[in-house]
Amino acid sequence: MKSVTGYGLLVECFWFALFCGSATHLLADSVYHKWEKLYLVHHWPVTVCMMNENECNNPPMYWTIHGLWPDKAAECNRSWHFNISELKDFMEDMREYWPDILHTNHTHFWKHEWEKHGTCAAQLETLNSQKKYFQKTLELYRKIDLNSFLSKVGIKPGSTYYQLTAIKEALESFYNIMPKIQCIPPEEGRLQVIGQIKFCFTKEFTLRNCTEEQSGLFSALEDDFFRTEDLSVCNDTLTYYPSHMKTHKHFAANVVVI
């Protein structure tokens, strides 16, 4: 009788330990996958081409979508694989506004964005399928309408340089928030080059200021698909907004103050 009781106690302890271990794993997972805001990331195709010169041909001359990224975590559900058939109803818009700048086949890029960022964004009911995630991103892109705004205020790509503070003031005045502007950092004898503009949204899809994450938390990983992890927050100085892949020197600058 004593041996049976001892055996039963041993079994109970085993299952209790297993449960506790699983619970700890789930808790760690939930902490890791927790996020607070979304980045709608626009990138400038010409700059992407400058960073990937050997792979790029005829980039679009308008800001395109890089992705919709939760501010923390990545690849939250590796078993949720990309299914391109869910995009069939809006494939034309995907090719126009969310193209793979470097390759003619866009599927690998969209797959990457879904598996790295979409599976984390899917914690929201409004983004909990591939169709919802990609459609909502297109909707937010149209809502921001960055290309029209920049053109309207006279910020256009070309051989003219801009003071970054002028660009920031124009964006803040129109959108009533401050996005995050990223550049190729300046090198000796060269100016920084604008590369990405990130607009931040709450989980309710309201625009909000983009602020840096607190230290010690899991930060949003920069997406390395186009080597844009080499971009950094722009300095408040002269900034090149390129219309082609040639890099200009300081002495060629014509400064425009908006």
CA nearest neighbour of 43 among 101, 82, 4: 101
Instruction: Report the alpha-carbon distance of residue 116 to residue 69 in Å, rounded.
Output: 9
Q: Active site residue: 33, 42, 43, 117, which one?
A: 117
- Residue 200 φ/ψ, nearest 5 degrees: -100, 140
Q: Tell me, yes or no, if 66 is annotated catalytic.
A: yes
Contact 132, 126 (CB under 8 A): yes
Contact 53, 246 (CB under 8 A): no
Q: Tell me, yes or no, if 43 is annotated catalytic.
A: no
The pair of three-digit structure tokens given for residue 136, joined into one six-digit string: 């909502």
Q: Active site residue: 113, 187, 213, 244, which one?
A: 113
Instruction: Report the alpha-carbon distance of residue 137 to residue 119 in Å, rounded.
Output: 14
Instruction: Report the alpha-carbon distance of residue 210 to residue 244 in Å, rounded.
Output: 29
Contact 162, 253 (CB under 8 A): no
Q: Tell me, yes or no, if 33 is annotated catalytic.
A: no
Q: Active site residue: 42, 66, 86, 115, which one?
A: 66
Residues serving a catalytic function are: 66, 113, 117
